[in-house]
Structure 1
Amino acid sequence: MNEDILSFIWRFQYFETSNLQTDENLNLSVIRTGNKNGNAGPDFSEARVMIGQVQWVGSVEIHVRSSDWLLHMHEKNAAYESVVLHVVWENDKPVVRKDGTLLPTLSLKGRIKDAVLERYAQLQDENESIPCAGLFGQVSDILKYAMLDRVLLERLDKKAQQVTLIYEETRNDWEETAYLWLCQHFGFKLNDPAFSRLARILPWKILRKHRGQLSQIEALLFGCAGMLSDETDEPYVRLLRKEHQFLSAKYGLSESCMNGHEWKYSRLRPAGFPTVRLAQLAQFLNNEGSLFTELVYAGSFAELRGKFHLEQSAYWKSHYLFGKKSRSSVPSMGKDAAHLLIINAAVPLLVAYSKQKQRHELLDKAVYWLSEIEAENNRITREWNTLGIRVTNAADSQALLEWHNLYCTPRRCLECTVGAALVRSV
């Protein structure tokens, strides 16, 4: 037994309500269960109950045992003075308010159908990564796809909040925000922290001054990344070292440069080495005047996709590392990598801007972009596929990843449309 299932049962009144009384033998009638509280304080607010001959409006607190009130030290928290009913599984200790009056308590033990508790236990104890996999077919498609739409918006909102934090950090500068957010995702997870640190060392306001001068942008990026060692004397590398020495002195960057060991190469294909990604980032920054405008106001998906068709400079078409020539030509940024940047960088940026400006058409545009990208193919999406859920584009696969990670893995079945329907159906 836990508070999650008790809260669910209280919220939807899945218990025997006939001849309902408090543990103090007062007649009890539930007029309104209240609003579920996701923040600190009592579990439900604005509840309305009739106890005896008196109608009470206030909060409801849920516990497994009534003594948990004292265990959680609610008696010392003024926020709990608004509680008008204590709903528990077992009343093992009366709770007294500060004014000395007894807090009305409703015990649910013996009032809940065994089938409800058994179904919940089944979902919680299931070994499958999607706990309702064996029961999934019992739920209507309407509920399944309602959940799919919901989790997609939750995922977009969560990422937009991360963008908004950067926007606040940059003092409401969308250009710098776009730069910081985009750079971070050029790390393709493994090198995200390193790319993020580099972007904070080397602001966009410096790089944009050198737009059109690719060698200078490369010098700043590779130099501040700590990759320009003296181990090779190739003309290209000498040029970058010379440019970086001058520019780092000009902008006062010498003391803040990274160390080469901060970049990770293991488990990466050479085409995904951070050296190659930095060269592609340099090309992107060299091409774009306003990063924010180019990303958010792309006229079409094809136009946006074209911006990430990045061919690195000549040296990096034949090298994966400084001073080490590759046996074959180094490919430009591929379609999959470009799509990941659109999914993880461009789309959340657009969603954050749409929320900040309250422009719902931009949110629709972001979802449309996702619908134009092929679905991700991984263990999780394949598992959903076996349950009959369509995975036709990136909007679907992003939603299913969120569904799995945010609800299935932590067993938040009661907060899931499908899981809640299965518990309610017994």
Structure 2
Amino acid sequence: MNEDFLKFVWKFGLLSPIPHFTVCGKKLQIIQPGIENMDAGPDFSNARIYIDDTLWAGNVEIHVKSSDWLKHQHNQNPSFNSVILHVVYNYDSPVSRINGDEIPALELKPYIIPEVHKKYRDLEQNKTWVPCASYLKILNKEIIPFWLERLAIQRLERKASDIRALVDYYNSDWEQAFFIILGRAFGFRVNSQAFEALNKSISFNTLLRHQDDISQLEALLFGQSGLLDLQPNDPYVIFLQKEYKHLQTKYNLKPIDHFHWKLLRLRPVNFPTLRISQLAVLIHNKGRLFDAVLNCDNTDDLFEMFKAQATPYWNSHYVFGKTSSFKQKLLGNEAILSVLINTVIPFLFVYGKARNLPDIQERAIDFLSQLPAEHNTITNHWSELGIFSKDALQSQALLQLKSQYCDAKKCLNCQIGMKILNQS
């Protein structure tokens, strides 16, 4: 038995419908269980109960054993003087307020509905992919779409602190922060740290000064990446090195080490050389990137914005100095979708929240609902269990559900878990 389950039972009134009595034998009627408190102090505030014929209003504290009151030293804490009822699973000791007044107690053990406790134990002890897998087939799924929307917003909120920290570090320069976050995305997990280091090594404003010259943009980005040193005899490398040396001196630039980059087991289309060129083209085409995002009215505009094709050299190369068959190197739809879902839209959402622009926040959420759902191991598992995602909003929600609730066994905080426990 644990306190979380007892709080859940108290909050939702999951007690047998027989008359309830305090441990002293007085009749207890619960009018309002109170509002759950997530901070310090009693577990529930503003509860209303009748003890015999007297109406009490105040706070409620929950414990597994009544002696936990003393263990937690509530008897010495003025914050607990307003407790009108001590709700426990096992009553093993009377407790009192600071002034010595004994607090009425309700022992839950005889009142907990056995079926509810059994379901909770099943969820807690289940070691399947999600604890509630066996219940999903018989679950009334009407609550799921509403829960998924809340989960998607939670996921956006969870990414917010990292983004805000970066924006604060750069003194509210949203363009510079977006450029760095975008670098992580262009690294596509394997090279995300290297790309972030590259984008941190140069001011975005420096790149904007050379927006009209794609060769200089490539020279700056490839020079800062350290990758120009790997094939010094390639004619295009020689050209870029010459451009870079001049710009490096002008801006006092220090490149990152080339060993940060990883090519092993990467698909050639994901090689960092191509992504760097595509990023240079994106800056060449759009200039202030986050400003361009803000000017997108729909997801078609966003997709069009990120359709960056690497420069002509890369039509016949994947890496410097090694020719390949001719193929134009566009940032593909799957890659763009990943960038939009995991980077652009969360950044837009955080911007709207930071600037108190609810329409921007709503636009970010709408963008997610307009994009197709992701297909990965987690969403595929959910599909096998009969929980499907019709768009990116819902697929992001299912990732949040799995990582933050199912894996953490937070069934009591999950709308699906609550529904299962409340469903007769």
Residues 312 and 117 (structure 1), Cα distance of their counterparts in 2 relative to 1, 3 Å cut: same
Aligned to 2:177: 177
1:323 corresponds to which letter in structure 2? Answer: G
1:180 corresponds to which letter in structure 2? Answer: I
Aligned to 1:188: 188
Residues 323 and 6 (structure 1), Cα distance of their counterparts in 2 relative to 1, 3 Å cut: same
Aligned to 2:303: 305
Aligned to 1:266: 264
User: In structure 2, how many angstroms separate the alpha carbons of the residues matched to 1:93 and 1:264?
Assistant: 63
User: In structure 1, how many angstroms separate the alpha carbons of the residues matched to 2:330 and 2:247?
Assistant: 28
User: Any idea what SS the aligned residue of 1:354 has?
Assistant: helix
Residues 35 and 199 (structure 1), Cα distance of their counterparts in 2 relative to 1, 3 Å cut: farther
Are residue 205 (structure 1) and residue 231 (structure 2) matched?
Answer: no
Residues 96 and 177 (structure 1), Cα distance of their counterparts in 2 relative to 1, 3 Å cut: same
Deviation, 1:119, is: 1.0
What do residues 71-92 of structure 1 show as CA deviations (whole Å, max 9, x unaligned)?
A: 5565676655554433222233
Aligned to 1:23: 23
User: Any idea what SS the aligned residue of 1:347 has?
Assistant: helix
RMSD (Å), alpha carbons: 2.8
Residues 101 and 376 (structure 1), Cα distance of their counterparts in 2 relative to 1, 3 Å cut: same
Aligned to 1:11: 11
Q: Is the 8 A contact 1:350 1:363 kept in 2?
A: yes
Q: 5 Å matches for 1:119-138?
A: 119-138=119-138
2:143 corresponds to which letter in structure 1? Answer: L
User: TM-score, normalization: structure 1?
Assistant: 0.88
2:144 corresponds to which letter in structure 1? Answer: K
The 10-residue stretch of structure 1 (221-230 or 272-281) with the greater mean CA deviation from structure 2 = 221-230
The 10-residue stretch of structure 1 (100-109 or 72-81) with the greater mean CA deviation from structure 2 = 72-81
Deviation, 1:56, is: 4.7
Deviation, 1:135, is: 1.8
Aligned to 1:143: 143
Aligned to 1:404: 402
Aligned to 2:216: 216
Residues 243 and 81 (structure 1), Cα distance of their counterparts in 2 relative to 1, 3 Å cut: farther
1:115 corresponds to which letter in structure 2? Answer: E
Aligned to 1:227: 227
Residues 268 and 231 (structure 1), Cα distance of their counterparts in 2 relative to 1, 3 Å cut: closer
What do residues 177-216 of structure 1 show as CA deviations (whole Å, max 9, x unaligned)?
A: 3223222221222322332233222221222112122222
Q: 5 Å matches for 1:336-415?
A: 336-415=334-413
Q: Is the 8 A contact 1:296 1:349 kept in 2?
A: no
2:384 corresponds to which letter in structure 1? Answer: T
Q: Is the 8 A contact 2:76 2:98 kept in 1?
A: no
Q: How many residues matched?
A: 424
User: Any idea what SS the aligned residue of 1:61 has?
Assistant: strand
Deviation, 1:18, is: 4.6
Deviation, 1:115, is: 0.6
**Any unmatched runs of 5+ in structure 2?**
none
User: In structure 2, how many angstroms separate the alpha carbons of the residues matched to 1:190 and 1:206?
Assistant: 27
User: Any idea what SS the aligned residue of 1:228 has?
Assistant: helix
User: In structure 1, how many angstroms separate the alpha carbons of the residues matched to 2:419 and 2:158?
Assistant: 25
**Any unmatched runs of 5+ in structure 1?**
none
Deviation, 1:48, is: 3.3
Deviation, 1:169, is: 2.9
Are residue 332 (structure 1) and residue 339 (structure 2) matched?
Answer: no
Deviation, 1:147, is: 1.6
Deviation, 1:94, is: 4.2
Aligned to 1:159: 159
Q: 5 Å matches for 1:17-166?
A: 18-51=18-51, 56-72=56-72, 79-80=79-80, 82-166=82-166
Residues 90 and 391 (structure 1), Cα distance of their counterparts in 2 relative to 1, 3 Å cut: same
What do residues 274-328 of structure 1 show as CA deviations (whole Å, max 9, x unaligned)?
A: 2222221121122222212211221332222111111112233333333333456
Deviation, 1:114, is: 0.8
Q: 5 Å matches for 1:238-277?
A: 238-254=238-254, 257-277=255-275
Aligned to 1:318: 316
User: In structure 2, how many angstroms separate the alpha carbons of the residues matched to 1:131 and 1:394?
Assistant: 24
User: In structure 2, how many angstroms separate the alpha carbons of the residues matched to 1:23 and 1:201?
Assistant: 68
Residues 230 and 353 (structure 1), Cα distance of their counterparts in 2 relative to 1, 3 Å cut: closer
Deviation, 1:158, is: 2.6
* Identical-residue share of aligned pairs (%): 37
User: In structure 1, how many angstroms separate the alpha carbons of the residues matched to 2:5 and 2:181?
Assistant: 39
Q: Is the 8 A contact 1:47 1:59 kept in 2?
A: yes
User: Any idea what SS the aligned residue of 1:46 has?
Assistant: strand
Q: Is the 8 A contact 2:310 2:328 kept in 1?
A: no
User: TM-score, normalization: structure 2?
Assistant: 0.89
User: Any idea what SS the aligned residue of 1:31 has?
Assistant: strand
Which among 417, 420, 424 is matched to residue 419 of structure 1?
Answer: 417
Deviation, 1:338, is: 0.7
Deviation, 1:54, is: 6.1
2:114 corresponds to which letter in structure 1? Answer: D
Deviation, 1:165, is: 3.3
Q: Is the 8 A contact 2:314 2:329 kept in 1?
A: no
User: Any idea what SS the aligned residue of 1:278 has?
Assistant: helix
User: In structure 1, how many angstroms separate the alpha carbons of the residues matched to 2:248 and 2:51?
Assistant: 74
Deviation, 1:15, is: 1.6
Q: Is the 8 A contact 2:63 2:87 kept in 1?
A: yes
User: Any idea what SS the aligned residue of 1:210 has?
Assistant: coil
Q: Is the 8 A contact 1:296 1:346 kept in 2?
A: no
User: In structure 2, how many angstroms separate the alpha carbons of the residues matched to 1:227 and 1:68?
Assistant: 62
